[in-house]
Each structure stands twice: as structure tokens, then as C-alpha cells.
Amino acid sequence: MADCVFCKIAEREIPSAVVYEDEDVIAFRDLEPQAPVHVLVIPKKHLESVLDFGKENKVLAAHILADVIPEVAKAQGLSAKGFRVVTNVGEEGGQTVKHLHFHILGGRSMQWPPG
């Protein structure tokens, strides 16, 4: 989608520190990390949020959750001590980039509830 920063990252028009890539998904380090490890996992296809997954993207949703997030977390050394997965949706969810993304945060203790 035009003017979407994450589409541009997926298309390698904007550089990022990529830690994982396959045909449908790319994961890269957050520009402003909130934890020692802060990776964003996104579908290459432009979907705005989890609200857009729908039935037609079930395979993609399962791939991200069942394959990619665990693989990235393990590769980043987070599986032993644990980590957090967050996806922000819309205004009150604190979503600033309107391209679906999952934050993987780790390397420190997380607080609950979040702010």
C-alpha cells in the first residue's frame, strides 16, 4: 500500500534490521526498542490489524502465530526466560503504524498490566 512504512520495509524500499523472512512474512528490529530484544513480525501483505485477518487469511494467521513467532523468539534466545507478544489495534490500542504487526519483546522482566 502506498505510503505505508511497513509495506516499504517488506519491499526493502526502507532499510531495516531483518531477523527473519519467508515468502509471506518478515521480521525486523524495532527502530525504538522498548526492551533488549524488540522485533516486529509482519505479514508482507498489507492488513491493517488483526481485525482484517478474516477467514481468507487463516493460514497466514496460523503461520505467524504457530511458526514464525516461536521461531524468531527461539532464535533471539528468548525461549528459556520468556517474552511478550503484543499486537496493538486502533486508537485506544495504541497502534501507530496501520500495518498489522506483532511485537516480540524480551530480555527483561515485563510489567503487568501494561500502561
Positions marked active-site? 101
Interface with Zn ion, residue 89, by CB under 5 A: no
CB under 6 A: which stretch of 46-54, 66-74, 95-103, 104-112 binds ligand 5GP? 95-103
Q: For the chain, what is the HEC assignment? A: CCCCHHHHHHCCCCCCCEEEECCCEEEEECCCCCCCEEEEEEECCCCCCHHHCCHHHHHHHHHHHHHHHHHHHHHCCCCCCCEEEECCCHHHHCCCCCCCCEEEEECCCCCCCCC
CB under 6 A: which stretch of 26-34, 52-60, 61-69, 72-80 binds ligand 5GP? 26-34
Give the shortest CB-13-to-Zn ion separation in angstroms.
11
Contacting residues for 108 by C-beta, under 8 A, at least 6 apart: 35, 36
Task: State how far the Cα of 101 lies from the Cα of 57, in Å rounded to an integer.
Answer: 14
CB under 6 A: which stretch of 18-26, 49-57, 91-99, 107-115 binds ligand 5GP? 91-99
Interface with ligand 5GP, residue 16, by CB under 6 A: yes
Interface with ligand 5GP, residue 94, by CB under 6 A: yes
Binding region for ligand 5GP (CB under 6 A) = 5, 14, 16, 28-32, 40, 88, 94-97
Binding region for Zn ion (CB under 5 A) = 1, 4, 6-7, 46, 99
